[in-house]
């Protein structure tokens, strides 16, 4: 029989309690905190995170749009290496305010007018949470059928929204189709590589004696002198020459300019194979003349890719759709819903007329990626359409945004931005000290003080040093120009008026200071 010990009778109550307390304290000290968040904790913290983000947006206009920090500010604020033991959510969140926020440029502040917009909306944020929750990797149809199929349908929806020619849509029996890339830069690179492979194979089939290296050395691609640097980068990565085509006085590439260079290059023995047209150039949102360029490219066997990274979103409005006329001559087209269509980064929509041109260039099929449906011809394996293998479920963001805004809501959003840019343009035009430097078509105004580049550089410096609004410059020909881009989802007339008053006041101060310096 087991002997029972009655501790109340042994007088050991105090002794035993002490031991228990010591053991508990010891356990607390030596045992690590729970390694992972469980679902109960996740529910609680998830709600707190959503509250934090909602508060962030509600208070965003009170935060300084451009940070004060100096390079290297962050390292001294955090430990040298990752913690050995888990830390609490509260501690991490506290450090977001202490360490991260001071170094954030607030892209969604209504006082942010730099670069081009980057999209943000609540439906897209919610879809991103879901995408993270599902956490699938959709490199092939079998790897997650919904991830592939929703993407194909969303690209068709979006293609229809901008009235893209049928050949670009996947539809049921088409040869074309759309895919989400991470960025416009990636889209240009992928298309340049596809065009390169197609051209090399075509030339080798006609001239089997020519080596790939020889053909590569003769290949030449083209883009506007206003094109984004990503086109030049695609040429660097693709190992081919890239030449700039001079744009006209409206910063647009004309057919005649392309023709002239093609003529010279063919005479010099080069092989033109790729032209990247831009709709909505980065410096001033100018538009290359697709209706002139397209027929030339088609006739000369040159792949025409159209980069409309920013401007593409505007084509959902019938009044801006004419800017896309001529896309019917293109082989591929790309724009970034993550710029101006309320779908958070990253979501760059790319379409190709003949998807085999693309997949033939990139198709590799190791056994571990094969699946039983791939030979049926009914499925899309997006890994053949892109550089990486892995891909996130990004089309969820499009689906949520398109459904919760509706096409009308999105059109309204684009129109509001365009109206605001014209409001700013009019303010500039009323001030004789300034000039508008390029036609304002969408949400970008390029302007400058009438005077030297140094004067304009000084003005931009004083604007950004004051940190009340944020702008970036560009060069148009030799002129240093200030770019005022309508960016935030919440920007309104009141912010435009504020920005202009602020710029005007800084200008007056700058000119006064200059006057004083003059002998
Ligand atoms: N093309 C144009 C016309 C752009 O304006 C930009 C960026 O602003 C890009 C390409 C690069 O975009 P991404 O960051 O998606 O590569």
Q: What pLDDT sits at residue 36?
A: 78
C-beta 483 within 6 A of ligand 1: no
157, 395 Cβ separation under 8 angstroms: no
Q: What pLDDT sits at residue 8?
A: 44
Q: How far is the CA of 22 from the centre of ligand 1 (A)?
A: 62
C-beta 247 within 6 A of ligand 1: no
Question: How many Cα atoms within 13 Å fall on the side-chain side of residue 460?
Answer: 19
pLDDT digits (tens, 9 = 90+) for 485-502: 999 999 999 999 999 999
Q: How far is the CA of 497 from the centre of ligand 1 (A)?
A: 28
C-beta 278 within 6 A of ligand 1: yes
Q: What pLDDT sits at residue 31?
A: 57
- Where does residue 423 rank: exposed (0-12), middle (13-18), buried (19+ CB within 10 A)? middle
Nearest of 445, 465, 458, 453 to residue 507 by alpha carbon? 458
Where b means 16+ CB within 10 Å and e means fewer, 167-191 reads: bbbbeeeeebbbbbbbbbbbbbbbb
Tell me the C-alpha distance between 52 and 41, whole Å: 16
Place of tokens 């969140």: 93
Q: What pLDDT sits at residue 2?
A: 43
pLDDT digits (tens, 9 = 90+) for 334-383: 999 999 999 999 999 999 999 989 988 877 666 666 666 666 566 788 98
Residues, the chain: 519
**Please, what is the angle between helix 395-429 and helix 145-161, to 10°?**
30
Tell me the C-alpha distance between 375 and 464, whole Å: 57
The atom number, within ligand 1, closest to the CA of 183 reads 15
Higher pLDDT, 365 or 118: 118
C-beta 226 within 6 A of ligand 1: no
What are the angstrom distances between the C-alpha of 65 and each of 112, 256, 285, 390, 414? 6, 44, 24, 34, 23
Secondary structure of 334-400 in HEC code, one letter for each residue: EECHHHHCCCCCCCEEEEECCHHHHHHHHCCCCHHHCCCCHHHCCCCCHHHHCCCCCCCCCHHHHHH
Tell me the C-alpha distance between 342 and 398, whole Å: 9
How many other CB atoms are found less than 10 A from the CB of residue 295?
14
The atom number, within ligand 1, closest to the CA of 338 reads 15
Q: Check pLDDT > 80 for residue 10.
A: no
Q: What pLDDT sits at residue 174?
A: 84
The 3-state DSSP class for residue 287 equals: strand
pLDDT digits (tens, 9 = 90+) for 442-474: 999 999 999 999 999 999 999 999 999 999 999
C-beta 116 within 6 A of ligand 1: yes
How many other CB atoms are found less than 10 A from the CB of residue 153?
15
C-beta 287 within 6 A of ligand 1: no
Mutating to test ligand 1, I would choose from 336, 338, 487 the residue with most ligand atoms within 8 A of its C-beta, which is 336
C-beta 286 within 6 A of ligand 1: no
Q: How far is the CA of 188 from the centre of ligand 1 (A)?
A: 10
The atom number, within ligand 1, closest to the CA of 308 reads 3
Rg (CA), the chain: 29
The atom number, within ligand 1, closest to the CA of 185 reads 16
H-state helical runs in 96-241: 122-134, 145-161, 184-206, 212-218, 229-238
Q: How far is the CA of 442 from the centre of ligand 1 (A)?
A: 16
The 3-state DSSP class for residue 177 equals: strand
Q: What pLDDT sits at residue 20?
A: 73
Measured by CA distance, the residue closest to atom 14 of ligand 1 is 183
Mutating to test ligand 1, I would choose from 310, 338, 347 the residue with most ligand atoms within 8 A of its C-beta, which is 310
Q: What backbone torsions phi and psi does residue 123 show, to the nearest 5 degrees? A: -60, -40
| Tokens encoding 473 | 């410059």
pLDDT digits (tens, 9 = 90+) for 435-446: 999 999 999 999
Strands, sheet with 271-278, edge to edge from the N-terminal-most edge strand: 177-181, 348-352, 332-335, 303-307, 271-278, 219-224, 241-245
C-beta 273 within 6 A of ligand 1: no
265, 243 Cβ separation under 8 angstroms: yes
pLDDT grade, residue 37 (50/70/90)?
confident
- Give the residue-averaged pLDDT of 146-161: 96
- The fraction of the chain above a pLDDT of 90, given in percent, is 83
Q: What is the pTM of this model?
A: 0.90
Q: What pLDDT sits at residue 4?
A: 46
Q: Check pLDDT > 80 for residue 204.
A: yes
The 3-state DSSP class for residue 175 equals: coil
pLDDT digits (tens, 9 = 90+) for 243-297: 999 999 999 999 999 999 999 999 999 999 999 999 999 999 999 999 999 999 9
The CA angle 445-451-454, to the nearest 5 degrees, is 90
Q: How far is the CA of 228 from the centre of ligand 1 (A)?
A: 6
Q: What pLDDT sits at residue 16?
A: 73
pLDDT digits (tens, 9 = 90+) for 242-253: 999 999 999 999
Q: How far is the CA of 390 from the centre of ligand 1 (A)?
A: 22
Q: Check pLDDT > 70 for residue 224.
A: yes
C-beta 114 within 6 A of ligand 1: no
**Please, what is the angle between helix 355-362 and helix 184-206, to 10°?**
90
Q: What pLDDT sits at residue 32?
A: 53
How is the chain split among helix, strand and coil, in percent rounded to 5?
A: 50, 10, 35
- Give the residue-averaged pLDDT of 404-428: 98
pLDDT grade, residue 516 (50/70/90)?
confident
pLDDT grade, residue 29 (50/70/90)?
low
- The fraction of the chain above a pLDDT of 70, given in percent, is 92
Higher pLDDT, 35 or 428: 428
pLDDT digits (tens, 9 = 90+) for 123-132: 999 999 999 9
Average pLDDT over all residues of the chain: 92
C-beta 181 within 6 A of ligand 1: no
- Give the residue-averaged pLDDT of 2-25: 59
Q: Check pLDDT > 70 for residue 236.
A: yes
- Give the residue-averaged pLDDT of 162-184: 92
- Give the residue-averaged pLDDT of 387-399: 94
Q: Check pLDDT > 80 for residue 25.
A: no
C-beta 198 within 6 A of ligand 1: no
Tell me the C-alpha distance between 314 and 311, whole Å: 6
* DSSP element (H, E) containing 261: helix 255-267
pLDDT grade, residue 3 (50/70/90)?
very low
C-beta 309 within 6 A of ligand 1: yes
Higher pLDDT, 14 or 265: 265
The atom number, within ligand 1, closest to the CA of 188 reads 10
């Amino acid at each position: 029989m087991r002997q029972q010990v009655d501790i109340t009778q042994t007088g050991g109550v105090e002794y035993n309690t002490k031991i228990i307390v010591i053991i508990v304290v010891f356990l607390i000290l030596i045992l690590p905190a729970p390694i992972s968040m469980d679902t109960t904790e996740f529910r609680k913290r998830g709600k707190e995170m959503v509250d934090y983000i909602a508060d962030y947006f509600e208070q965003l206009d009170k935060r300084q749009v451009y940070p004060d920090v100096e390079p290297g500010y962050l390292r001294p604020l955090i430990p040298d290496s990752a913690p050995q033991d888990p830390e609490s959510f509260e501690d991490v969140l506290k450090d977001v305010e202490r360490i991260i926020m001071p170094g954030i440029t607030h892209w969604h502040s209504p006082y942010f007018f730099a670069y081009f917009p980057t999209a943000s909306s609540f439906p897209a944020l919610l879809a991103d949470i879901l995408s993270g929750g599902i956490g699938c990797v959709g490199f092939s149809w079998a790897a997650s059928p919904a991830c592939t199929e929703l993407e194909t349908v969303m690209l068709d929806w979006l293609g229809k929204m901008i009235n893209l020619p049928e050949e670009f849509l996947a539809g049921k029996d088409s040869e074309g189709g759309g895919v989400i890339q991470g960025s416009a830069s990636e889209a240009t690179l992928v298309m340049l590589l596809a065009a390169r492979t197609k051209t090399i194979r075509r030339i080798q089939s006609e001239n089997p004696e020519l080596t790939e290296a020889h053909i590569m050395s003769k290949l030449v691609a083209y883009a506007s002198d206003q094109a984004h640097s990503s086109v030049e980068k695609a040429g660097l990565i693709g190992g081919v020459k890239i030449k700039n085509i001079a744009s006209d006085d409206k910063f647009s590439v004309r057919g005649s300019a392309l023709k002239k260079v093609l003529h010279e290059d063919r005479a010099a023995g080069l092989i033109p194979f790729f032209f990247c047209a831009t709709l909505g150039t980065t410096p001033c949102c100018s538009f290359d003349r697709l209706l002139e360029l397209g027929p030339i490219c088609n006739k000369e066997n040159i792949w025409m890719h159209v980069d409309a990274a920013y401007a593409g979103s505007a084509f959902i409005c019938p009044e801006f759709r004419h800017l896309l006329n001529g896309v019917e001559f293109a082989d591929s087209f790309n724009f970034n819903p993550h710029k101006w269509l309320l779908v958070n980064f990253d979501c760059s929509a790319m379409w190709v007329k003949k998807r085999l041109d693309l997949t033939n260039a990139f198709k590799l099929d190791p056994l571990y990626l094969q699946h039983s449906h791939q030979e049926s011809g009914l499925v899309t394996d997006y890994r053949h359409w892109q550089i990486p293998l892995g891909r996130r479920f990004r089309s969820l963001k499009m689906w949520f945004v398109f459904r919760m805004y509706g096409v009308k809501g999105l059109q309204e959003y684009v129109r509001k931005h365009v109206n605001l840019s014209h409001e700013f343009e009019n303010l500039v035009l009323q001030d004789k000290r300034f000039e508008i430097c390029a036609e304002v078509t969408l949400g970008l105004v390029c302007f400058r003080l009438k005077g030297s580049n140094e004067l304009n550089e000084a003005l931009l410096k004083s604007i950004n040093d004051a940190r009340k609004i944020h702008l970036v410059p560009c060069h148009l020909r030799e002129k240093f120009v200030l770019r005022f881009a309508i960016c935030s989802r919440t920007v309104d007339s009141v912010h435009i008026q504020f920005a202009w008053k602020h710029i005007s006041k800084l200008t007056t101060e700058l000119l006064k200071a200059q006057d004083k310096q003059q002998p």
